[in-house]
Structures are given as structure tokens and as C-alpha cells.
Amino acid sequence: MPIAVNIINKSNNPLPTYATAGASGLDLRAHLPTPIVLAPQERQLIATGLFLELPDGYEAQVRPRSGLAIQRGLTCLNSPGTIDSDYRGEVKVIMINLGQQAQTIESGERIAQLVFQQVEKVAWQVVDELDQTVRGQGGFGSSGVK
């Protein structure tokens, strides 16, 4: 069952939609007065013209679009970016060009996707020791799975 999310759209773009029935993310579009050219290794904050009011206990995650990444070398930094339920500013996307040629981002272009996730709060329990596991303190490739 879908959750209700209040939205203000100050762009000329349609509201974000799911591209297919099985899609997890809604497509975010750029809202720009003029196209932006990203040189190789350059990053910029791209506006969407969208403002959200998320229900308490939810976050929205800004994630890259795989097609932009493989075809043009464009991706999102700080991914997934988190939009907290108490944030009321404009949704913006940190884009970077990891390709070898400049890339132009046009207003209305699909630049990222937005995924909604329920978030659990934690209550810390201070202890003197943790339960032991086979893995223990091994990290960063220590599981041996290749």
C-alpha cells in the first residue's frame, strides 16, 4: 500500500513517476534555467524544483540512474543521499561526470531516482562486551567470498 507524501512542484516537469510497474524508484528530473555542462571530474548540485513532506519514520533516498552511469559516466555523489522526514528544502542531486568528455544536463532530463524507505530508530545499550561470531573483527574482504 502506498504511503502518502505531500509534494510541492515548482518545476515545469511532471511529478516523479515509476518508469515500470516493478520499478523501486521514481525518476527525478532536472529543473534548470539553462543547460549545465559538466566537465570530466566536475560535480554540481542539480535542482529538481521539488519540495517534500515525508511522514515521520520515513526517508527518501536519492540514487543514481544506471543508464546515465554506463552510457554517459554521470552518477550521484553521496549515494544514496538521504532526505530526512524533517527536511523541507528543495530536493537537489549532487551529480558528477566520471566520463572522459563533457556532458550536458538539460532541464527536464531524468537525472536520478528517489526511493522511499521506512527507518527504524535505535536505543543504545551500553555493554562491556559483544557476542562472539565466527567472523569476529574481520572486515573489508575478510569473509573470503570471491
As a whole-number percent, the residues of the chain with pLDDT over 70 amount to 96
Q: State pLDDT tens for residues 34-90.
A: 999 999 999 999 999 999 999 999 999 999 999 999 999 999 999 999 999 999 999
In a domain, 103, yes or no: yes
CA distances from 15 to 6, 7, 78, 93, 107 (A): 12, 9, 23, 16, 14
In a domain, 49, yes or no: yes
In a domain, 46, yes or no: yes
Question: Is residue 19's pLDDT more than 70?
Answer: yes
Closest to 134 (Cα-Cα) out of 119, 144, 125: 144
Q: Between 127 and 138, where is the model more confident?
A: 127
For residues 58 and 85, is the Cβ–Cβ distance under 8 A? yes
Average pLDDT, the chain: 94
Total number of domains in the chain? 1
For residue 76, give the CATH number of its domain. Answer: 2.70.40.10
The pLDDT of residue 145: 61
In a domain, 132, yes or no: no
Domain range enclosing 49? 6-118
Give 30's pLDDT tier (boundaries 50, 70, 90). very high
Q: State pLDDT tens for residues 4-14.
A: 999 999 999 99
In a domain, 139, yes or no: no
The pLDDT of residue 146: 59
In a domain, 127, yes or no: no
For residues 109 and 30, is the Cβ–Cβ distance under 8 A? yes
Residue 132 amino acid letter: Q
The pLDDT of residue 144: 65
Q: Give every CB contact of residue 5 below 8 A, 6+ residues apart in sequence.
A: 52, 53, 54, 55, 58, 116
In a domain, 65, yes or no: yes
Question: What's the pTM?
Answer: 0.88
Phi-psi region of 19 (alpha: psi -120 to 50; beta: other; left: phi over 0): alpha
Gap between the Cα atoms of 100 and 133, Å rounded: 45
- Mark 74-87 as b/e (b = at least 16 C-beta within 10 Å): bbbeeebbebebee
In a domain, 133, yes or no: no
